[in-house]
Amino acid sequence: MLALVVQPLSCTSSNRLEGYVYYRLNASPSTLDPALIADVSSAAIAAKLYNGLVRLDDGLGIAPDIARKWSISEDGLRYTFLLRRGVRFTNGREVKASDFKYSFERVLDPSTRSPNTWVFDKVEGAEEFLKGRAGEVRGFKAKGDYVFEITLKRPFSPFLSMLTMPPAYVVPREEVEKLGADFSSRPSGTGPFTLKEWLPDRELLLARRHDYFGGRSRVKGIAYRIIAEDLTAVTEFMLGNLDVIALPATAYARFKNDEKWSRYILSREGLNTYYLGMNSSRPPFDDPELRRAVSYAIDREKILNTFYEGRGRLAEGPVPHLLRRWKTGRPIEYDPERARRMIRKKGLEDLEVDMYVSADREVVDLAEIIQAYLARVGINVNIRQLEWSAYKDAVNKGEPDMFWLSWWADYPDPENFLFPLFHSRNLGPGGNRVRYVNREVDSLIEKGQYAVDEEERDYFYQKAEEIIIEDSPWVFFWHKTDYVITQPWIKGCRVYPVYSMDKGTDIMIDSSAVRR
Amino acid sequence: MLLVPLMFAITLFAFFLLKALPGDPVLGLVGERADPETMESMRRELGTDKGFVGQYAGYLKLLLKGDLGRSYYTNRDVLADISRKFPNTMLLAFAAMLVTVPLGTGLGFLSAVSAGGRSRFLERLIDTLSISGLSIPVFWSAIIIMMLFSLKLKLLPPSGTGGIRFLVLPAAVLAIPAAATLARVTKTTVLEILRMPYVTTARSKGLSALRVQLVHVLRNAVIPIVTIIGLDFGSYLNGAVVTETIFGWDGIGKFTMEGIIKRDYPVIMGCIITGTLVFVVVNLITDVIYHYLDPRIRLNVKKG
């Protein structure tokens, strides 16, 4: 009946903008004000609208962005950046060193309500400014128009890496002051694209800038379509209405086994760690030996290769392989007999624990697998499914004995997988959701943060990681591989392990390959 | 007017439920690495640190000014967002009804009439169809319809908000269970009426079967049918969450759902208030229609 009502339409992609590359977002970005960004959708778009002093290159190293050169003083306290000339905001004004001072102070200013103050809290004078006791941050200094200097309170080795994040992007003061709260939806920066149109919850269009200092983009623009449902996105992709999508887990096998498509799948080891957390602050899991027994009891490799279809790399510890410049001493292997012995020795057979999971099909299935493994060694797991907000709240408050979670890098430094997750200063919502407290680990992580020399830094990180593996507050599962699938006519697409890396200047549409 | 105390009661009840729900709206704002101080200052800024009475009073004050507040996450004006999305939801509801009403009543009537006939094939067929229509979950029929009409036949776009091209599939998905319900209600009602003495009278007067069915039966069956239509329409105007999400239709249902997931209190409250108003208005219209269909039903309107 429907076919009678509707005229057949020649091509469903007819309303596409020519020369634009179409991406999918699963949620509408909440803000495009870099100071306020705390979600991945927003950050990925902000990367195309703004620039910072430095950025990440493809090898996860630090590359020049607006700063063309920089130097760090020998004591590791003073960072001097020499800025490029002729970098312009969309309103045509040139970026000066004072813009960085303004932008960075704005993140720390309590009236901005930025969730990202931690990015700059190691800067000299930041604390006084945050508490309203100083009118400026002493550690941010514009020396003339093209030299910007940052002074830290103490040496802090991941600092340069952190400067690649959205909160460290430069914004034009006059626009921010003119627009107020509306700057969130009417951004203006220095990046390769400008915001052309934003239909919240539907579509967001970025248009290429011709005067971008880093070489203009090879596509006319980028369109993001907001599609909540994975299946819908896959359908749109198969119809050619989307050019690039992150491959949803449910569609992985179908495309992988399809000869026509498998060669258009791109992948890259992700900067993330999936883990089963155990609340280390109270019985029963305040006992490291019991936590280790849990790790021995679960055959993670088998789960990864069967249930998870090999879409990741087995984790040896919290730090992803990409960031680990050292060898881990003794990763924990599957040994259920040993786990059983350890538990029996403690007289803990028939132990009952609560495992919380978010109500996501894949996670619930996984929880049941873990439950089965643990039942075999005498631990009875009660799975409690919670809706996402309630789940997050419960985990932050330390309610569950066990929970399933993952951590994704903000910046590619081992410190990002150690300090927030295992330092006792970050218990709960700060990142250390297992409430793991070990003074020795605290001190090793801090030493790593202060160490100026890279080898020395790695030494401390490695030591810290070894103790953490030994103490096993997590069962370290895997580092999930990121998969992206593109249309045959898309060239120059890459998978980026950190959301802020893709500036959108490499991708292009091969018009000779566009079908029909 | 009963509306004011009703709205008051609804907002109070909804507000109470929201606060009783576990979850903290600030968590979604601060990201994965939040220090307690930032979280505390955000709670202060949003006003979620105040007690229940304080927060509710603050909300009422805002509401009385005709303001629904701003979303915690996007900082956009909730009233403006709802005014933008509500027409979409309304369009979808109307489109769904456009399919539902003729299809549901038509099939129901046919089924009832053929029930008395010699071959009950038609009745059985329609009954099977309506039972299936009722039992198929929306998410499943949505997927099947999308696979068929978008992916295989390439007739219609799978998702998006816009003109009739985008409207057909979600409207069809919504219409399936509604038409099925309506067919069943129509059938039962018509069967009952067929047994009424006045139908026998009409037949014995020598009126044609068609005339009996159209004039004497259908007219009397209209009231329960209108009730069902009113109820369905009211619920569609509150947004069809699953359908809107799968077909990427930018309506109230999806908006409400996302608000709930993120604990975006101003959005949730705004949607609840709009929804209540819509139900009241639809019920009012249904009552007025009753009166015109059957003048014995009086509208109890007090003067003054």
pLDDT in tens, A73-83: 999 999 999 99
What is the count of structural domains for chain B? 2
Nearest by CB to B33, from A201, A386, A430: name it: A430
**Min Cα separation B104/chain A (Å):** 14
Mean pLDDT check: name the lowest of A460-474, B26-40, B125-139, B151-165: B26-40
Check whether residue B124 and residue B163 sit in a common domain. yes
Cis peptide before A192 (omega within 30 of 0): no
Q: What pTM does this model have?
A: 0.90
> Which residue in chain B has the smallest CA separation from A199?
B250
Q: In which band, very low, low, confident or very high, does the pLDDT at A340 lie, cut at 50, 70 and 90?
A: very high
Mean pLDDT check: name the lowest of A499-503, B40-44, B180-184: B40-44
Check whether residue B286 and residue B176 sit in a common domain. yes
Check whether residue B52 and residue B180 sit in a common domain. no
Q: DSSP class of residue A245?
A: E
> Which residue in chain B has the smallest CA separation from A13?
B157
Distance of alpha carbon B294 from alpha carbon A48, whole angstroms: 64
pLDDT tens readout for residues B207-236: 887 788 777 888 888 888 888 888 888 888
Pairing of strands A351-358, A379-386: parallel
Mutate to test the interface with B, among A201, A405, A408 (most CBs of B within 10 A): A201
User: Is B84 contained in some domain?
Assistant: no
User: Is B78 contained in some domain?
Assistant: no
User: Is B149 contained in some domain?
Assistant: yes
Sequence-ordered strand ranges (E) for A41-113: 54-56, 62-64, 67-72, 78-83
Nearest by CB to A9, from B81, B155, B263: name it: B155
Interface of A with B in 147-206 (CB under 8 A): 181, 184-185, 199-202
**Residue B46: its chain A contacts at CB < 8 A?**
none
Distance of alpha carbon A343 from alpha carbon A353, whole angstroms: 14
The pLDDT, as a whole number, for residue A402 is 97
Look at residues B282, B159, B168, B195 and name the one whose alpha carbon lies nearest to residue B232: B282
- The number of CA neighbours under 13 Å toward the Cβ of A249 is 12
Q: Looking at this predicted complex, what is its ipTM?
A: 0.88
The pLDDT, as a whole number, for residue A23 is 97
A72 and A79 in contact (C-beta within 8 Å)? Answer: yes
Residue percentage of chain A with pLDDT more than 90: 83
User: Is B72 contained in some domain?
Assistant: no
Span A437-460, average pLDDT: 94
The pLDDT, as a whole number, for residue B214 is 76
Nearest by CB to A389, from B81, B158, B263: name it: B263
User: Is B117 contained in some domain?
Assistant: yes
**Residue B247: its chain A contacts at CB < 8 A?**
232
Distance of alpha carbon A175 from alpha carbon A188, whole angstroms: 7
Most confident of A4-8, A32-36, B30-34: A32-36
Check whether residue B97 and residue B243 sit in a common domain. yes
Are A9 and B75 inside 8 Å of each other by CB?
no
B84 and B63 in contact (C-beta within 8 Å)? Answer: no
Residue percentage of chain A with pLDDT more than 70: 97
Interface of A with B in 95-134 (CB under 8 A): 110, 113, 115-118
Check whether residue B56 and residue B103 sit in a common domain. no
Whole domain around residue B8: which residue ranges? Answer: 3-64
Are A429 and B30 inside 8 Å of each other by CB?
yes
pLDDT tens readout for residues A290-311: 999 999 999 999 999 999 999 9
Q: DSSP class of residue A271?
A: S
Q: In this complex, how many residue pairs, one in chain A and one in chain B, have their CB atoms less than 8 Å apart?
A: 144
Check whether residue B230 and residue B295 sit in a common domain. yes
Check whether residue B130 and residue B183 sit in a common domain. yes
Check whether residue B95 and residue B135 sit in a common domain. yes
User: Is B289 contained in some domain?
Assistant: yes
pLDDT tens readout for residues B234-275: 888 887 889 999 999 999 999 998 898 888 999 999 999 999
Check whether residue B26 and residue B128 sit in a common domain. no
Check whether residue B99 and residue B52 sit in a common domain. no
Distance of alpha carbon B243 from alpha carbon B88, whole angstroms: 13
Check whether residue B151 and residue B253 sit in a common domain. yes
Helix, strand or coil for residue A45? Answer: helix
User: Is B118 contained in some domain?
Assistant: yes
The CATH number linked to B136 is 1.10.3720.10
Check whether residue B114 and residue B183 sit in a common domain. yes
Backbone angles phi, psi at A451, to 5 degrees: -65, 130
Helix, strand or coil for residue B133? Answer: helix
Nearest by CB to A31, from B35, B74, B151: name it: B74
**Min Cα separation B155/chain A (Å):** 5
pLDDT tens readout for residues A83-127: 999 999 999 999 999 999 999 999 999 888 899 999 999 999 999
Residue percentage of chain B with pLDDT more than 90: 41
Nearest by CB to A12, from B27, B157, B172: name it: B157
Mean pLDDT of chain A: 92
- Beta-carbon contacts of B208 under 8 Å, excluding residues fewer than 6 positions away, are none
User: Is B197 contained in some domain?
Assistant: yes
**Residue B32: its chain A contacts at CB < 8 A?**
407-408, 420, 431
